Every structure is written in C-alpha cells, then in structure tokens.
Chain A
Amino acid sequence: MPREVADVVAAAKDGDREAFDELVRLTYADTYTLAHRLTGNEEDARDVVQEAYLRAYRGLRRFRGDAQFSTWLYRITANCAATHLGRRSRHRHDELDDSVPVPDPHPDHDPQLRADADDLRSRLKVALDALPPRLRAVVVLRDVYDLPHEAIAAELGISESAAKVRLHRARNKLRDQLFGRREGESRAG
C-alpha cells in the first residue's frame, strides 16, 4: 500500500473521521467504476457505492492491513453489488451480432492496430453489459480487478468451483460475442 494511503488508513482506523473522508476522496472514483461495471447502470452504482462506504466505515477496525486497502474495498463493493442485485432480481440478456475473428498482432506498434484495440475495448464494454449479472460479476472481479477465486466466491456467496464455472461461461460468452462462434463449435456453458 502506498505510504500516503497507509497513513490515512491507519488514522481512520484510530477513529479519525477526517482521515476516513480523505480515504473516500482518494478511492470513490475507483469504487464507483467497479460498482458501475458490476451493476451496469449509474443508479444502482450510486446505491452500491453508498452502501460500500458505510460498511467500510463500520468495519474498518477489522481491516488487518495484510492486503491492499483497495482490494478490501473492492471485496466490500462486490458484496454490496451482489446483495443489491439479488434484491432487485434483475436479469438481462442482449443478443449481439457475431464479429469476424482477427489475428493477434501487438496493438501498440501500429496506429491501425491501436484503433482496432480501442474498437475491441468498446465492443467488450457492450458485451460485458449484456452478460447476466452473475456472470459479469465474476469475470469483472477476476479479469479486470485480479481478485483471487476464493475472495470472489466469498463475496458473492458462492463456492469456489461455482465461481470458476461462471468465469469459464462468462469468458466463453464474451469470446463468442467479440470474435464469433466458429462453424461446428458447440455451445458449451
């Protein structure tokens, strides 16, 4: 943890309310981004962020400091998002057009390739929003935020094997949406 954040966290743990407010200022954009990725919309993201900071505030004394503060906050946010979406019981499926597979060049060396990479990222965001929330949560937490499987499982209230199955299914769906399904390939997961 960067020393500056570590100092602020230590002060907040000691009950310094201004230090906790400072932690919020330092992290709220990142937290909002995660919440938006998990919920798919601004309104739910706002609710999740509010709840996440309340829980962090109440539970900060339990933060042991053995992980990054940001990781701890990601886990709280993931848990809040799962709870929030569970309450709303929303389930979205949007069908997207198949895309043509492209070779795997390194995108940084060629302006056209960089444009292709930006285009891929834009299409990826659309594809992520179209995933069912329970698949989106796992793939975002694993592949964007690099949380380990056991942490993802704990925060989403599922088993580790269920988390891995959902990850596999999510990646398959994203790959299909971005690159198209080849002839003869069965729909697994």
Chain B
Amino acid sequence: MQCADLTETLAGAADGVTELGRAERRHVERCLRCQAEIVQYRKLLRAMRSLRTEVLEPAPGLLADILANLEEAGERHAVRSILSGRRMAYLGGLAAATAAGAAGAIVFASRTRRARLAG
C-alpha cells in the first residue's frame, strides 16, 4: 500500500463518509504523510462547514426587486389565464358550431337521398 493508493480515499475518510479498509488503516497508522493529509482535509471540511452559518449581506434593493418581479410574473400569469379561458370558450363555441353544421349536413344529405330513392 502506497500513499498514492489512498489519494481518493483520505478526503472521504476525513469526512467520515468512507471507511478505510484494514490495509489502508494499517498504512495510515504508520504514515505521517497520510496522517497530515487527513488532518488537512479535516481542517478544510471544518472551515467549509463553518461557512454555512455565514450569511452575506444581500445587495441593496434585492428584496424589492424580487418581489416586484414576482408581482409582474403573477400579473402575466393572471392575464394568460384570462386569455386562455376566453380562448377555450371561443374554441368551444367554434367546435360546437362545426359539430352542429356537420350534423345538419348529414341530416340534409340523408333526406335528399331518401327523396331520390322515393321517386
């Protein structure tokens, strides 16, 4: 077991995500270099986690911009809903008229045919 064999494992071991195998553990127990690397990863991960509690000051006016954007999006959605409702009613009317016309045409054709057959 060489140090290079553990390159990908040590960060995970420092994180507690990866469990070292027996041979790996034996190597690390005897290798100051790998031990130092684990220590460095632990410091790095601890520093990374500490960033979680740090909240940056948002840019001035950002909250107002977000809310204004949402307001506009809400308005556009409402207008689209109204328009799609009217469009649906219009299309529904068209469909009904088409169906009525088709039914009328069928009735007319049928009567005409019967009249021809009758004489």
Contact = CB atoms under 8 A, between A and B. Distances in A.
A13 interface: no
Contacts of A42: 59
B98 interface: no
B48 interface: yes
Best-surrounded residue of B8, B33, B62, B67 (most CB of chain A within 10 A): B62
Contact of A145 (B4, B45, B52): B52
Contacts of B50: 117, 121
Contact of B58 (A29, A37, A117, A182): A29
Contact of A104 (B43, B52, B54): B43
A175 interface: yes
B71 to A, nearest CB: 8
B84 interface: no
Contacts, number: 102
B42 interface: yes
A84 interface: no
Given A54-B73, A168-B8, A168-B11, A124 B44 contact: yes
Contacts of A21: 67, 70
Interface in A132-151: 139, 143-146
Given A21-B67, A21-B70, A54-B73, A104 B42 contact: yes
Interface of A: 17, 20-21, 24-25, 28-30, 32-33, 36-37, 42, 45-46, 49-50, 53-54, 57-58, 101-104, 117, 120-121, 124-125, 139, 143-146, 168, 171-172, 174-175, 178-179, 182, 186, 188
